[in-house]
Amino acid sequence: MTKILMVGSEAAPFAKTGGLADVLGALPAALHELGDEVAVLLPRYGSIPLAELERIYDSLEIWLGPARYETSVYRTGRGATYYFLDCPQLYDRPGLYGDAEGDYPDNHIRFAVLSRAALEIARRIFRPHILHCHDWQAGLTPVYKKTLFAQDPTFLAMRTLFTIHNLGYQGLFPKQALPQIGLDETAFVPEGIEFFGRVNLLKGGLKYSDALTTVSKAYAREIQTSRYGFGLDGVLRARARVLTGILNGADYSEWNPETDRWIAANYSADDLSGKRACKRDLLAEFGLPETAMEQPVLGVVARLTSQKGADLIAEVAPDLPAEDAYLVVLGSGDAKYETQFAKLALAFPGRICVRLGYDNQLAHKIEAGSDMFLMPSQYEPCGLNQIYSLRYGTPPVVRATGGLDDTIEEDTGFKFQEYSAKALLDCIRTAVAAYRDRDCWVERMRRCMRKDFSWNISAKEYSALYRRLIGS
Ligand code: ADP
Ligand code: GLC
């Protein structure tokens, strides 16, 4: 049995801002089903009530250079175990990474403590064969293991795997952060975590781990090019032999119209009647007219950032009424996009509806009640919403990049290549024309719903990779 300790900054249902949480909420259980023993280490954010957790370690001291952090460890979970690092001065705050003022200025310390604590937990509480680190927040675990603990027998046989969920977020800090994260100048070199004069925590993960994965095969190729590499493509090309792509799965216990508890009516590929009830409910939710029942409603659920093609959606939105199409958007993110979308909703009442914020139930209602789902991303490591859309019979309109390209086929959704508003609008027009051929459309919905992206397929790939890494 392989023992794996994962380290990351969010996992559903405990803390979530995006798809990483979906992955860390579902992959551990899928691995457990396969017989692996999995634990996940997360910060105990203020939003996670202590009363629901079991305190298992009272005083775990974490040293970063001369600075000492007093932490304790809590636990929950059946099957896969979730450990929570409690350190109120660092994690007991309203946001995961920041507040209205921006990112917390001590994020490097917050996640250095988490990464360093992972090694203490591996030593004292749960000794794994593999440390599986996710994104920049966990990038220092392999760095500490290979530097501070290079000679420590506890860690000699342990292997590190680093998964890139998004190369666009690197954890960049000024050089002055170095002593605060317990490292000295020897790591601050191009072969280490130095990146154009700054400290790059993601690069730490890329350089010091035994193996790397990312969340789709297409993205594994793309990040080795200058267009998608965010300046790290050279580092990734140099590690190409240990880099593989493993597609994310969908947690169908959460995202399945047959059992979804958040939507107006359940439905399946064999009986689609509930989907009309969901559409009617969505129209009511947004105050859209009854006439929209017979017209295409396009849904968006996304972080409103340039990654997600928010600018393209905003640019094509005014052209949608001419197509007799409606648009519903749920998202939060960059202030400039939030303002732009709020203005669009005011300019096109009863046509374009926007809800700014984070709302899990509404995300489910949009997946179920829309006729199509838009994801014109500039880049997309995997993307989960398009996979959920398939299961809800809501054909996705996507740009052919990363995981979107790997999961959407001509017979399910609609793909375009060039990152431009014109290409997106042309693709939407093709999709709207297809929608008007009712019988073909219903067949398309059924094909979408029958696609299987369950976690057990991808979990097998991770499990095999873990075994290769430990040489068993
Ligand atoms: P990313 O991780 O890049 O944001 P994914 O498609 O992998 O993109 O995952 C996004 C996840 O976050 C999905 O589960 C989606 O439903 C959810 N999500 C994103 N924005 C919102 C929002 N405003 N309200 C509710 N859920 C959201
Ligand atoms: C990131 C990516 C997204 C991916 C998710 C989970 O947030 O942007 O494409 O699905 O991580 O791996």
Structure confidence at residue 64 as a pLDDT band (50, 70, 90): very high
Nearest CA to ligand 1 atom 19: 302
Ligand nearest the Cα of residue 354 is 1
SS3 326: strand
The alpha carbon of 332 and the centre of ligand 1 are apart by a number of angstroms equal to 10
The alpha carbon of 400 and the centre of ligand 2 are apart by a number of angstroms equal to 15
pLDDT value of position 78: 85
**Closest to 243 measured CA to CA, from 214, 215, 218:** 214
Q: Is 299 in the pocket of ligand 2 (CB under 6 A)?
A: no
Mean predicted confidence (pLDDT) in 255-272: 98
Q: Is 381 in the pocket of ligand 2 (CB under 6 A)?
A: yes
pTM for this model (two decimals): 0.97
How do beta strands 159-164 and 211-214 pair?
A: parallel
Residues in the chain: 472
Residue of 165, 219, 384, 407 to test ligand 2 pocket, by largest number of atoms within 8 Å of CB: 165
Q: Is 394 in the pocket of ligand 2 (CB under 6 A)?
A: no
Q: Is 384 in the pocket of ligand 2 (CB under 6 A)?
A: yes
Q: Is 191 exposed, middle or buried (0-12, 13-18, 19+ CB in 10 A)?
A: exposed
Place of tokens 């992206």: 453
Q: Is 32 in the pocket of ligand 2 (CB under 6 A)?
A: no
The alpha carbon of 167 and the centre of ligand 2 are apart by a number of angstroms equal to 10
157 pLDDT higher than 80: yes
Place of tokens 């590499």: 229
Ligand nearest the Cα of residue 219 is 2
Q: Who's near 153: CB < 8 A, 6+ residues apart?
A: none
Q: Is 95 in the pocket of ligand 2 (CB under 6 A)?
A: no
Structure confidence at residue 316 as a pLDDT band (50, 70, 90): very high
Q: Is 350 in the pocket of ligand 1 (CB under 6 A)?
A: no
Structure confidence at residue 134 as a pLDDT band (50, 70, 90): very high
Alpha-carbon span 186 to 163, nearest angstrom: 25
Query: Cα-flanking dihedrals φ and ψ of residue 37, to 5°?
Result: -105, 115
Q: Is 131 in the pocket of ligand 1 (CB under 6 A)?
A: no
Virtual torsion, Cα 436, 417, 455, 207, nearest 10 deg: -170
With residues binned 3-state (H G I as helix, E B as strand, rest as coil), the percentages for the chain, rounded to 5, are 40, 20, 35
Q: Is 54 exposed, middle or buried (0-12, 13-18, 19+ CB in 10 A)?
A: exposed
The alpha carbon of 235 and the centre of ligand 1 are apart by a number of angstroms equal to 29
pLDDT value of position 100: 85
pLDDT digits (tens, 9 = 90+) for 170-215: 999 999 999 999 999 999 999 999 999 999 999 999 999 999 999 9
Q: Is 387 in the pocket of ligand 2 (CB under 6 A)?
A: no
Q: Is 248 in the pocket of ligand 2 (CB under 6 A)?
A: yes
Mean predicted confidence (pLDDT) in 316-324: 98
Q: What percentage of the chain exceeds 70 in pLDDT? A: 100
Q: What percentage of the chain exceeds 90 in pLDDT? A: 98
Alpha-carbon span 468 to 460, nearest angstrom: 12
- DSSP H or E run through 41: strand 37-43
Ligand nearest the Cα of residue 166 is 2
pLDDT digits (tens, 9 = 90+) for 35-56: 999 999 999 999 999 999 999 9
How far is Cα of residue 70 from the mean position of the Cα atoms in its chain?
A: 30
The alpha carbon of 432 and the centre of ligand 2 are apart by a number of angstroms equal to 28
Ligand nearest the Cα of residue 16 is 1
- What are the residue ranges of helices labelled H in 335-384? 335-347, 360-369
Nearest CA to ligand 2 atom 10: 383
Q: Is 308 in the pocket of ligand 2 (CB under 6 A)?
A: no
- Structure token pair of residue 397: 């309109």
| 3-state SS record for 106-157 | CHHHHHHHHHHHHHHHHHHCCCCCEEEEECHHHCHHHHHHHCCCCCCHHHCC
Question: Which atom of ligand 2 is the closest one to the Cα of 168?
Answer: 8
Q: Is 332 in the pocket of ligand 1 (CB under 6 A)?
A: yes
pLDDT digits (tens, 9 = 90+) for 377-401: 999 999 999 999 999 999 999 999 9
Ligand nearest the Cα of residue 338 is 1
Nearest CA to ligand 2 atom 7: 19
pLDDT digits (tens, 9 = 90+) for 425-457: 999 999 999 999 999 999 999 999 999 999 999
472 pLDDT higher than 70: no
